[in-house]
Structure 1
Amino acid sequence: MSKVATRSFSDIRRALLAHQELALVDVREEAPFAEAHPLFAANIPLSKLELEIFSRVPRRDTAVTVYDNGEGLADIAVQRLQALGYSDVRLLEGGLQGWRDAGGELFIDVNVPSKAFGELVESQRHTPSLAAEEVLALINAKADVVVLDARRYDEYQTMSIPSGISVPGAELVLRARELAPDPSTRIIVNCAGRTRSIIGTQSLVNAGLPNPISALRNGTIGWLLAGQTLDHGQARRFSEVGEDTREQASADARKVADKARVQRASHAELKRWQADLTRSTYLFDVRTPEEFADGHLPGARSTPGGQLVQETDHFASVRGARLVLVDNDGVRANMSASWLAQLGWDVFVVDGLNAADFSEKGEWNAPIPAPHQAEEISAQTLADWRLQGDVAVLDFTTSANYVKQHIPGAWWVLRSQLQDALNNIPAASRYVLTCGSSRLARLAVAEVEALTGKPVFLLQGGSGTWFAAGFAAESGESQLASPRIDRYRRPYEGTDAPREAMQAYLDWEFGLVEQLGRDGTHGFHVI
């Protein structure tokens, strides 16, 4: 096999500073990625590379640079990407260690560009905030205060500030005036840590709301560190707004977008860009998933605006690409775009759309390669085979899904660690592969066949069909054939993280501005 070409740290740095399109792809699992990576690295694990790459790196001649930390994953990734039609794929010279040796800055955690930017915003704009103890005192005193939770609704339901209302980030400027119609009502914006509360609070400040507005300092982490109690399972959500509120919010958002130098596009220009093979264009619908499903522009991806700003590296993995945002009210796209422009993106909002343009219905489906051939069996057939014995069930779903619920006796397997996993599993005369839908498991059929030399079958429709048929389910970490490194456990996710981990996370965030300065490639500007 011919030697794979490489790109150096200096090549990547030069391209970033020149705003050229590039994808720097870390193909390790999320947990090791979170331990150390370059600022603009996109984590696309080898285990699910084929299922994510088309949406995250849409243009096949993008300059893609792949790396790992010496595990041998990057070489396999190069082969897979080339087989999928990517024509400019290279290895990072020296891998992660090569980046470190060249003097490149390394960052921990996930979604670092957005989190570092949030810290930069607070340091430059002095975004107002209140400590957890101060907010609790206001709530207990029944003061005129409204708490708006800027996270996803599922995160809000897991844990929330008492009296808090779910208003995900991009919805804040559209909804806040009706949730706090009296200009003297104090608005508190919270998230789990810092970023989304800072960005949410500053969004309301930038939009000119007359209310006193503050972030909950350090979010639910700060609340827990103060020894205070969170609510669980709440269902308070924003409601629809009147036309006057919508028009006011639209005018406010447009002013902010203009100040941030957000660019404008027509629907005709968007269609030309979608047909342009020389430039990467992402089309993001930043409304709620429910609105997206009711009708959206063809080719758009559902990316609620608050999460798009929080997780930009996940949705748009080509730095230097063109981002195009749409909504149907002129608020959420303009506010989201105002932040993306400050994050250094070439970002446009489409004007002049009408209801007929939102012609495609249903949820977004990721573009994936043509499915591999595999012999499928039904849930009933698997049940019969299990009674006969000598069948191994391999589950390729996320470890969290596996622990929550899996087919009894199934082994959890990471596709990127398949050989090691099979060494941990007693040999069988036949293997059945599954995951939530069987899309990921299908990719592993030929690999398991090659490694075992035994017949390999795919569970039709995945584990969901097994549970839907009423067969037994099991939970817990009963048979892990691979280490649970597919997901980094965020210290702000639940209420059971050690206090030391929560405090360490906050300390890390406080140091991000200094790290940005050392890295020197971010291109952020704060209005």
Structure 2
Amino acid sequence: MIIQTKNYSFVRNKLLNKEEIALLDVREEDPHAQEHPLFAANLPLSRIEIDAYAKLPKKTVPIVTLDDGEGFAQLAAERLIQLGYSDVSVFEGGVKAWKAAGGEVFKDVNVPSKSFGELVESKRHTPSLSAQEVKQLIDTKEDVVVVDVRRFDEYNTMSIPTGISVPGAELVLRLPELAPNPQTKVIVNCAGRTRSIIGTQSLINAGIPNEVHALRNGTIGWTLAGQALDKGQSRKFQEVSEATKSDAANRARSVADRAGVKRADLSDVQTWKSQIDRTTYFFDTRTPEEYEAGHLPGFRSVPGGQLVQETEMVAPVRGARIVLVDPSGGGVRANMPASWLAQMAWDVYVLDGFSSSHLTEKGAWKPSLPTLPTIASADAITVSNWLKNDSNTIAIDFSTHANYVKGHIPGSWFALRSQLADALKNIPEVDRYVISSSPSELSYFAAEELQTLTNAEVLVLEGGNLAWTNAGLALEKGPSHLASPPLDRYKRPYEGTNVDPAAMQAYLDWEFGLVEQLGKDGTHHFWVL
């Protein structure tokens, strides 16, 4: 298939003019994280069919696929066209051509948000304390509250002693009852810098009376100072009174108004859902538990703190419209994230004028998916019997490497769909391959591809890995059979408890340099309230 190409000036002009564009780096996450343009969102070739409809809701959006010469961009473009997208191009020459044209490239993931956080600190001189200063406050029993603004699972892995889990968008709503005395000092921490800067500045922008500081360099700074982290903690924020909620709502609305956040109602939502010439994302910014108890149709669950931190993961179309809603927090968890998205130059709205009666959908968010390929399948018990009694059957798991390590069918091989031909060279030749994954739908696309590479019988495990565990069958843990290298996950220097100090310091040094890189790039339109 012949696909049209685009170049640096085309993409740059779209960004400078604030026009919609989805610049998609279709490599796996690790090569993406090594270097990429600022607004190149990572949408790996491996997952295009199961992620495209949610991340690219408008079929006519200009899409430019990017790789670094591996051929993935062409394949991704072909798949997107097969899915019904009509304006798809390949970036000619890949990342090398971007650099040759003078384009700035960035390392790591979630770079737009992280560079914006550094810009905020540079403009507002967000107050911070060193790890040693915070430890002294804790050790001397000062009147201090430490709030951890990461996801709960990150907090649970490792946390600052005495710290309480309060994910970012919850801060303005929850802090008044965690620190009711205005004399109480508040320390905001994350793993590195961005979320603690944004969290601290959120409280300051909202006019919270307490003295607030970020923990400088987060858990990385704490570790580099030679101080011990807690593990396995479960302290969480609590529900707040109606009076506290009302006051927080007024504070958050004031910040949103100052940032230029726009307002929308349900009639706008209906209009925008059917609009064919504009991309609109609809996000519910509460906790997943609240969302599942009842939410507005068509809204995706994306907690507000993570939305600000990982915007391009759920909204890869730069220049799109974003609509946020917080039905049970007085709007706080929509208005505060919206204030930051507005400063990051998104066209952002908060939904008003609805009632609890409009929250007619329940349960977890389910993405829209294309029709699955027709592939033969087998249930978990049948597959289990084959694997125990038939040496000519092998299971291949196309889940993420992280999920594979957590638990997989005993004896199954880990493979990346984008590396399938190479992976197959490492897997024994047998008469039957059973394909599994989380989510299970991915199995069908991987199996269809595998069928073109082998004469063996190829089936999918009905219901994927979840069906295996639901059948009461045991899982195996660890990286036991890797047919592909784990390129689907960039090793973050701020995750986990066993990270090289040199890698931590290098990460901090990289963050400090982001403001200068932003200036060189020049396409961001960021501003600071």
Same fold (TM over 0.5): yes
1:492 corresponding residue in structure 2: 494
User: How far apart, CA to CA, are the structure 2 residues paired with 1:83 and 1:99?
Assistant: 27
* 2:53 aligned partner: 54
Sequence identity (%): 59
**How big is each residue's C-alpha offset from its partner over 1:288-328, in whole Å with a ceiling of 9 and x where there is no partner?**
11111111111000010000000001111100000001112
Q: Distance in 2 between matches of 1:473 and 1:299?
A: 35
Superposed, which structure 2 residues align to 1:406-425 within 5 Å?
406-425=408-427
- Which amino acid in the other structure matches residue 368 of structure 2? P
1:380 to partner: Cα distance:
1.8
Q: Which moved more, 1:348-357 or 1:109-118?
A: 348-357
C-alpha deviations, 1:45-85, integer Å up to 9, x for none? 00111111111111000000001111111111111000000
Aligned counterparts, 1:248-259, within 5 A = 248-259=247-258
Counterpart code for 1:399: H
Q: Does 1:426 align with 2:428?
A: yes
Specify the alignment match of 2:333 in structure 1. Answer: 332
SS at match of 2:322: strand
For 2:211 and 2:47, the matched residues in 1 are separated by 46
Name the counterpart of 2:456: 454
Residue aligned with 1:79, SS: helix
CA distance in 2, matches of 1:209, 1:437: 42
Letter in 2 for 1:153: F
Partner amino acid, structure 2, of 1:24 = L
- Give the Cα separation in 1 of the matches to 2:467 and 2:58: 35
2:301 aligned with 1:277: no
Per-residue displacement from partner, 1:241-261 (whole Å, max 9, x unpaired)?
A: 111111111111111111101
1:22 matches 2:24: no
Deviations along 1:445-468, one digit per CA (max 9) or x if unpaired, are: 121111002211111111222233
Q: Map 1:89-128; keep pairs closer than 5 Å.
A: 89-128=88-127
- Residue type matched to 1:264 in 2? R
Post-superposition offset of 1:100: 0.8
* Residue 277 of structure 1: how far off its partner (Å): 1.1
Q: Distance in 1 between matches of 2:10 and 2:204?
A: 39
Tell me how far apart the structure 2 counterparts of residues 178 and 253 of structure 1 sit (CA, whole Å). 16
Query: Aligned partners of 1:261 and 1:463: how far apart in 2?
Result: 45
- Aligned match for 2:475, one of 473, 476, 491: 473
The structural deviation recorded for 1:275 is 1.3
Once the two structures are superposed, what CA deviation does each residue of 1:7-58 show, in whole Å capped at 9, x if it has no partner? 1101111110100000000000000000000000010000111111111111
What SS class does the counterpart of residue 428 from structure 2 fall into? Answer: coil
The 3-state SS of whatever aligns with 1:380 is helix
Q: What's the counterpart of residue 305 of structure 2?
A: 306
3-state secondary structure, aligned to 1:284: strand
Q: Within the alignment, does 1:502 sit opposite 2:524 as a pair?
A: no
Paired residue secondary structure (1:371): coil
1:181 has 2:183 as partner: no
SS in 2 for 1:451: coil
Alignment of 1:138-153 (within 5 A): 138-153=137-152
Gaps of 5+ in 1: none
CA distance in 1, matches of 2:384, 2:348: 52
1:474 CA displacement: 2.0
Work out the CA distance in 2 between the residues paired with 1:210 and 1:410: 56
Equivalent position of 1:63 in the other structure: 62
Match of 2:362 in 1: 361
Q: For residue 437 of structure 1, report the CA deviation from its aligned partner.
A: 4.1
Q: 1:404 — aligned with what?
A: 406
Amino acid of the structure 2 residue aligned with 1:400:
A
- Alignment-derived partner of residue 390 in structure 2: 388
Q: CA RMSD in A?
A: 0.9
**What is the distance in 1 between the residues matched to 2:440 and 2:406?**
17
Letter in 2 for 1:458: V
Q: Which amino acid aligns with 2:300?
A: R
What secondary structure sits across from 2:187 in the alignment? strand
Amino acid at match of 2:107: I
* Count of aligned residue pairs for this structure pair: 526
**Alignment of structure 1 residues 233-272 onto 2, 5 Å:** 233-272=232-271
Q: Which range moves more in the overlay, 385-394 or 332-341?
A: 385-394
Query: For the residues of structure 1 that align with 2:279 and 2:259, how far apart are their CA atoms?
Result: 22
Aligned equivalents of 2:252, 2:72: Cα separation in 1: 44
1 CA distance for matches of 2:85 and 2:241?
Answer: 48
Task: Flag structure 2 segments of 5+ consecutive residues without an equivalent.
Answer: none
Q: How does 1:153-192 map to 2 (within 5 A)?
A: 153-192=152-191
Q: What TM-score comes out, normalization by structure 1 length? A: 0.99
Query: Secondary structure in 1 aligned to 2:298?
Result: coil
Separation in 1, partners of 2:481, 2:383: 18
2:74 corresponds to which residue? 75
Q: Give the match for residue 375 of structure 1.
A: 376
Give the C-alpha shift of residue 358 in structure 1.
Answer: 1.4
Q: Is 1:198–2:200 an aligned residue pair?
A: no
Matched, 1:293 2:311: no
Shift of 1:263: 0.7
Match of 2:518 among 511, 516, 519: 516
Q: Secondary structure at the match of 2:487?
A: coil
Secondary structure of the corresponding residue to residue 229 of structure 1 = coil
Name the aligned partner's letter for residue 336 of structure 2: M
- The answer for the alignment partner of 2:129 in structure 1 is 130
Question: What amino acid is the match of 1:466?
Answer: W
Structure 1 stretch 367-376 or stretch 148-157: which is displaced more? 367-376
The offset of 1:473, in angstroms, is 2.7
CA distance in structure 1 between the partners assigned to 2:11 and 2:528 by the alignment: 24
Q: Distance in 1 between the 2:301 and 2:55 partners? A: 13
Separation in 2 of the partners of 1:374 and 1:103? 46
Offset at 1:438? 2.2
CA distance in 1, matches of 2:423, 2:512: 39
Letter in 2 for 1:493: E
Instruction: Note the alpha carbon deviations across 1:126-153, whole angstroms, 9 max, x for none.
Output: 0000000000000010000000110111
Deviation (angstroms), 1:441: 1.2
Deviation at 1:439, TM superposition (A): 1.3
- How far apart are the structure 2 equivalents of 1:409 and 1:363? 31
One-letter amino acid of the structure 2 residue matched with residue 444 of structure 1:
A
